[in-house]
Amino acid sequence: MTATAVEPRRRTGNGAAAAPRRTRRVSPLILVFVLVPFAVEAVWVFWPALQGFWLALTSWDGLSAPRFVGFGNFADMVSDPIFRTALKNTAIWLVLFGGLSVIGGFGMALLLQRERRGVGIYRAALFTPVVFSLVVTALIWRVFYQPDGLVDTVFRTVGLGDFIRPWLADPDTALYAVIVPALWRQIGYVMVLYLAGLKAVDPALYEAAKVDGASAWQRTLYVTIPQLKGVNSVVLSVIVIDSLRSFDIVWSMTKGGPYHSSELLSTYMYSTAFQSTQLGYASALAVVIFLLALAVILGYLIRAFREES
Amino acid sequence: MNRLKTGGYHVAMGLVSLLWVAPILWVVVISFRSFDDVAANGLGSLPHSFTFSTYKSAWEDADEFRALVNSLLVTIPAVILSLGLASVAAYGLARYSIPFRRTILLLMLMGNLLPPQILLIPISRFVELIGYYDTLIALIAVHVGFGLGFYTFVLHGFMRDLPREIQEAATIDGAGPGKIYSAVILPLTRPALAALGALSFTWIFNDLLWSITVIRSGEKMPVTPALLGLQGLFVSSWNVIAAGTVIAAVPTVAVFLRFQKHFVGGLAIGAVK
């Protein structure tokens, strides 16, 4: 406070000197503020990531020194049936888990967007599972799928007892039996994203469309959906990245089994690394996951930074 | 007609909501059933008994108490550290013309968007190398490092939008960059910090992948991986496993209930930006 009289003069002096050269001296404290977190991330993320890429080109059991094999690991993948299953399952996961959670989340957001009595309760109900960890979700549903559990009881009650099977132990159903709980949790999350997006749409647009005689369906199709472009790209990025990262729920429910029938790239990578200790091959699998995510990440970053400027 | 429509809406949404919470309610019910009841009547039946012994088994025999303590020992410092570091970085990047500030921000965000799988092997080797394998400190460091990019990005967006004038006013009053951060910018960023705090608490608390990569001994496991271990310990004692599941869910549910508004707002961060 006492410096008020002096400061303005000094400030104008600085500004005049700095303006032509277009450089403003940044105080050392600010540099520390930025560089320390950056260094922390460099040590725990950037540097390990680079090592990961390098390890993908090696054959390594974790004990002896890594042996450089070039793209050998990637060539091995072509003839690896488990890799192909995992890739196929990851694609199924992306389409079913991703697609259905977008459809379900968007549908629920449309149904629950208008503030009216009871709507808060419905939103809260759909949202509750998001709070749980995927492991908790997995265990809740494992209890569900047990022989004589609620799933079987429901099937028997409605007269479909013949369909009953060991849902998680049957290679034909394991993957889908894992997708259901993953969806159960994701739909509420996607709904929140869309609710936020819908709230940001200018109500005047609906009014105008209504005046022009657009039906509710037409208003959704021609006003709401185009207005949600931004949210859509966020949702899509979140879904694709989440799908490729998905690990917890599969690991907690089936560990990728039986006979790799529910194996995803992420679970296969983990078991290859830490159970069969083929660290080079596992790194190569991680690079595949990375490459698949990269396209999405780039799309997301380009969007994020277009808005920055 | 309209009343019929409204009624139909509430019946339909009520059913959907019930369907959604049914699995949770049902697991809570099982957690209070005795083993004999479950064995005799099956998991799908209505309860014929009421007991707390399942919770005692999970809490004491399976040592979920220690697992919960471990989780909190990791989660609380990790949340504070990562938000602290992210907020100073975001402050520097958003309020000062640091060279390459956009590149730095971009790199930091990109680091967070990397699939963790690419980091697992190098990080497990790295913590082994520096002698911190199988320690909670390693787990804290991993969570801080991996979360920083996203938190910095979000806080940067908030801090950037604060009006220039308040900072100039503080400068005129003689406040340095450190003082401006702590007395002006940080208090104004509180809503964003609360949202990220609530979110990151659940993310870190709920983590499985990093814990099983960095921690080996059972007595150091946080509650999420410990919960998986419960399955091996109480094979087919689904009532005890249900009790363990309920216990493991309590802290995040508590944080959610306490910070509901921030939590939901936090999830929506970025969706409307």
pLDDT of residue A7: 35
Give the tens place of pLDDT for each residue, A264-293.
999 999 999 999 889 999 999 999 999 988
Say yes or no: B111 contacts chain A, CB-CB below 8 A. yes
* Tokens standing for residue A304: 């994020």
Average pLDDT of chain A, as a whole number:
85
What pLDDT, on a 0 to 100 scale, did the predictor assign at position A101?
Answer: 93
- Mean pLDDT for A125-129 is 91
> Mind giving me the DSSP string for chain A?
-GGGGTHHHHHHHHHHHHHHHT--PPPHHHHHHHHHHHHHHIIIIIHHHHHHHHHTTEE--SSS--EE-TTHHHHHHHT-HHHHHHHHHHHHHIIIIIHHHHHHHHHHHHHH-S--TTHHHHHHHHHHHHHS-HHHHHHHHHHHHSTTSHHHHHHHHTT-GGG---TTT-TTTHHHHHHHHHHHHHHHHHHHHHHHHHHTS-HHHHHHHHHTT--HHHHIIIIIHHHTHHHHHHHHHHHHHHHHH--HHHHHHTTT-STTTT--HHHHHHHHHHTS--HHHHHHHHHHHHHHHHHHHHHHHHHHHHHH-
Could you tell me which chain B residue has the CA closest to the CA of A294?
B114
Contacts of B272 in chain A (CB under 8 A): 196-197, 199-200, 230-231
Q: Which residue in B has a C-alpha nearest to residue A284's C-alpha?
A: B118
Q: Is the pLDDT of residue A52 over 90?
A: yes
A301 at the B interface (CB within 8 A)?
yes
Which residues in chain B have Cβ-Cβ distances shorter than 8 Å to A129?
A: 20, 24
B contacts of A36 (beta carbons < 8 Å)? 85, 88-89
Alpha carbon of A79: minimum distance to chain B alpha carbons (Å): 22
CA distance, residue B194 to nearest chain A CA (Å)? 16
pLDDT for residue A10: 40
For residue A135, the distance in angstroms to the closest alpha carbon of chain B comes to: 7
Contact B136, B221 (CB under 8 A): no
Give mean pLDDT, residues B190-196: 92
Above 60 in pLDDT, residue A4? no
Task: Report which residue type is found at A153.
Answer: T
**Owner of token pair 């990080």:** B123
Q: Are A281 and A272 in contact (CB under 8 A)?
A: yes
Q: Do A37 and B148 touch (CB under 8 A)?
A: yes
Q: How far is B120 from chain A (nearest CA, A)?
A: 8
CA dist B151 to A244, B43, B90, B190, Å?
A: 21, 43, 8, 13
Residues 6+ apart with CB under 8 A from A119: A112
Query: What pLDDT does A309 receive?
Result: 59
**3-class SS at B167?**
helix
pTM of model > 0.95: no
Query: Which residues make Cβ contacts (< 8 Å) with residue B161, sequence separation at least 6?
Result: none
Q: Is B232 on the interface with A (CB under 8 A)?
A: no
Question: Are residues A122 and B89, on separate chains, in Cβ contact within 8 Å?
Answer: no
Kindly indicate the confidence band of residue B270, based on its pLDDT and cuts at 50, 70 and 90: low
pLDDT of residue A305: 67
Percent of chain A with pLDDT over 90: 45
Q: Does the CB of B273 have a partner CB in chain A at under 8 Å?
A: yes
Model pLDDT, residue A169: 86
B45 C-beta neighbours (distance < 10 Å), count: 14
Whether A222 shows a pLDDT value over 70: the answer reads: yes
Q: Which of B17, B92, B225 sits opposite A121 (nearest CB)?
A: B17
The whole-number average pLDDT for the span B107-121 is 90
Which among B17, B42, B248 has the least Cβ separation from residue A136? B248
pLDDT of residue A114: 85
Per the model's pLDDT, the better-predicted residue between B62 and B159 turns out to be B159
What was the pLDDT predicted at A231?
84
CB contact under 8 A, B118 and A52: yes
Which pLDDT band, with edges at 50, 70 and 90, does B1 fall under?
Answer: low
Sort strands A67-68 and A58-59 into parallel, antiparallel or unpaired: antiparallel
> ipTM, 2 decimals?
0.89
Query: How near does any CA of chain B get to the CA of A240, in Å?
Result: 11
B45 CB contacts (<8 Å, ≥6 apart)? A153
Q: State yes or no: pLDDT of A123 exceeds 60.
A: yes
* Contact at CB, A270 and B256, closer than 8 angstroms: no
Residues A88-105: what's their mean pLDDT?
A: 93
Answer whether residue B26 shows pLDDT above 80.
Answer: yes
Question: B106: burial class by Cβ within 10 Å (0-12, 13-18, 19+)?
Answer: middle
The whole-angstrom separation of Cα B247 and Cα B227 is: 9
- Give me the pLDDT at residue A20, please: 42
Query: Among A136, A185, A302, which would you mutate to test the B interface (most chain B Cβ atoms within 10 Å of its Cβ)?
Result: A136
Q: What is the pLDDT of residue B60?
A: 86
Tell me if chain B has a CB within 8 Å of the CB of A5: no
Q: Quick one: pLDDT band at residue A17, thresholds 50, 70, 90?
A: very low
Which of A141-145, B46-50, B55-59, B265-269 has the least mean pLDDT? B265-269
- pLDDT category at B215 given cuts 50, 70, 90 is very high
Q: What is the pLDDT of residue A304?
A: 62
**Any chain A CB within 8 A of the CB of B233?**
no
**Helices A279-308, B117-129: inter-axial angle, 10-degree rounding:** 110
> Could you tell me the two tokens for B46?
């209505």
The reply to whether residue B113 touches residue A297, judged by beta carbons under 8 angstroms, is yes
Which chain B residues are within 8 Å of A282, Cβ to Cβ? 121
Q: Is A67 on the interface with B (CB under 8 A)?
A: no
Spell out a b/e string for B145-178, using b for 16 or more CB atoms within 10 Å of the CB, else e.
bbbbbbbbbbbbbbbeeeeeeebeebbbbebebe
Is any Cβ of chain A less than 8 angstroms from the Cβ of B169?
no
Shortest Cα–Cα distance, A91 to chain B (Å): 16
Q: Which pLDDT value is given to residue A300? A: 65
Give Cβ neighbours of residue A121 (< 8 Å, ≥ 6 apart).
B17
